[in-house]
Each structure stands twice: as C-alpha cells, then as structure tokens.
Amino acid sequence: MGMRFCILGSGSEGNCALLETDAARLLVDAGFSARRLAHLLAGMGESLGRIDAIFLTHEHGDHAAGISGLSGHPQIKIFANHATAHAVQAGLKYRPNWQIFETGTRFRFRDLEIESFAVPHDAHDPVAFVFSHGRGDLLSPRRRLAWLTDLGHAPLHVREHIRDADVLVLEANHCPQMLKADGKRPWSVKQRISGRHGHLSNDSARELLDAIASPRWRHVFLAHLSRECNSLAAVEQSCAGILSSLHCPFSIVAPGGGTPFHEC
Ligand SMILES: [Zn+2]
Ligand SMILES: [Zn+2]
C-alpha cells in the first residue's frame, strides 16, 4: 500500500481525516467527540485502538474537541506545536502523549515525512501539513498530500506547498453572499470569518486554484464547507469556470460529509 486517506467528516461542526500507510495509521485533526470518532472510524473498518497518532492543525473545537475523550487511548501520540498543545491541554483533565514539533520544521513519523507550516488563521499557532510517502522509484512513487483547512489567505510559502502537492485538500469555507445574508452570526463574527485570518471563501479558493493550477496535482478536494453559509451548489457554481484548467479530478466534500478512501 502507498498512502491513502479518507475524510471522516469535514465542515464547521467538526473535521477529521484518516491517513494510512503500511506502517502508520493516523488522524489529521480530531474535531468530533471520541464517541463520534469511534463511530466514524468503525464505518471505515477501523477503531481508535488501532490509531497511532493524531496531527493537530490548531486548537479550535472543530479540530481538537475529540482529544478530551481519549484518555483511555494512551498509545495515541498527539502531534502539535507548543502553542496548540498548550491551548488544548488547558481544557483537558488528563495529559495526552504530546509530541511537540516546531512550526516550519520537517520530521518523520514511521514511513511518513511530515512538514508543518504556518497559515494565517485566528488561532495561537495554526499550521497546515504536507504528508510525504514513498521512496520515489517505480515501485514506490513519492507522493505529497497537502492539507490546508482554516486559513484566511494564502501567502507565498503556502502557495509553494500547494503547487508541489500531488493531492491537495483545500478549504472552501463560505459563500460570501450566504455569509452576508446569514441572520445568526453577528457582524463581528462575519468580519472574522471573511478576514485575512479567517477562512477561505469559495471565490478565494477558486482564485488560488486558478492561479496555481499545478500540473503535478492528481486530485483536488475542497473541504471544510460551512453548513449554514455554504453549499455544494454554491461551490460548484463558484468553481465551474476552473474545471477545464485543472488537469485532474476535483471533488467537493459536502458540509458535514466525508469521502471514501482515496489512494494518493
Ligand atoms: Zn479554526
Ligand atoms: Zn475549522
């Protein structure tokens, strides 16, 4: 097996993905209760007892809420930078097996190489990840999976990571018109969401894909759609124009939904 992943759930209510290789089985974020995580994993034939590690992008509840229920799984190593671990630990009644990395560094976990890099978002030290796997020969091609949810905009270093990915998971959080029309969120929250340290709108995600349109991409996923301020139809409409310039399959993950396993 090379590297494969499935999104267990994605959206404003919670985010978690399962990433597997021959030697590692890990979660990217754990934004659901432990009970829900167990249920979602069971749906893919997996269980929390078989998870080796969780990689946290930042401390927001829709990415880290599940950690509080994992005291019974001490085998799970929790990878996070110091600020994220500190923020999550403040809400915990136990001490997980923290594995602290420094933002911007590259390190190995079993047969994976992981790069973390800073993204502009309103958390303590939010990061995105690139997971690389494979020796780089015919039998074991090198594959890079870039994971970018929760970012207000994409600075140059972020664009470089996006360009070099084989598989890209990118946020398309909200439709600006639906966010504007939303009656529940106060103005200040809307400003935060749409700001430079908030979330990518459908239009920002499209512009980014359009500007980079890397020939290296093998599959692009748009994820972390807001349930109330976005829809599959809104993303499809916003991205309709770029489908011809992307030379790879393109999937939109429904708000709250997931994906089947995808080989990188
Ligand atoms: Zn966030
Ligand atoms: Zn989020």
CB 5 within 8 A of CB 145: yes
Tokens describing residue 159: 């664009």
Distance, CA 148 to ligand 2 centroid (Å)?
10
Return the ligand number nearest the Cα of 12. 2
Distance, CA 61 to ligand 1 centroid (Å)?
8
Return the ligand number nearest the Cα of 224. 2
CB 170 within 8 A of CB 197: no
Distance, CA 84 to ligand 1 centroid (Å)?
11
Tokens describing residue 174: 């909200």
Distance, CA 168 to ligand 2 centroid (Å)?
17
Which residues are CB-contacts of 254 (< 8 A; sequence separation ≥ 6)? 225, 232
Range 239-245 contact pairs with CB under 8 angstroms and sequence separation of 24 or more: 239/172, 239/202, 239/205, 239/206, 239/209, 241/206, 241/210, 242/206, 242/209, 242/210, 242/213, 245/210, 245/213
Return the ligand number nearest the Cα of 63. 2
Distance, CA 12 to ligand 2 centroid (Å)?
6
Tokens describing residue 208: 């980014």
Return the sign of the alpha-carbon dihedral for residues 24, 84, 17, 220.
negative
Return the ligand number nearest the Cα of 84. 1
Distance, CA 187 to ligand 1 centroid (Å)?
18
**Separation CA 31–CA 156 (nearest Å):** 28
Distance, CA 20 to ligand 1 centroid (Å)?
24
Distance, CA 15 to ligand 2 centroid (Å)?
7
Judged by DSSP in three states, 81 sits in: strand
pLDDT for the residue numbered 244: 74
- What dihedral do alpha carbons 110, 115, 118, 123 form, nearest 10°? -20
Distance, CA 16 to ligand 1 centroid (Å)?
13
**Separation CA 117–CA 105 (nearest Å):** 7
Distance, CA 136 to ligand 2 centroid (Å)?
33
Which residues are CB-contacts of 137 (< 8 A; sequence separation ≥ 6)? none
**Separation CA 54–CA 17 (nearest Å):** 10
pTM of the model: 0.97
Query: What string of pLDDT tens digits covers the 264 residues of the chain?
Result: 899 999 999 998 999 999 999 999 999 999 999 999 999 999 999 999 999 999 999 999 999 999 999 999 999 999 999 999 999 999 999 999 999 999 999 999 999 999 999 999 999 999 999 999 999 998 899 999 999 999 999 999 999 999 999 999 999 999 999 999 999 999 999 999 999 999 999 999 999 999 999 999 999 999 999 999 999 999 999 998 887 778 899 999 999 999 999 999
Distance, CA 136 to ligand 1 centroid (Å)?
34
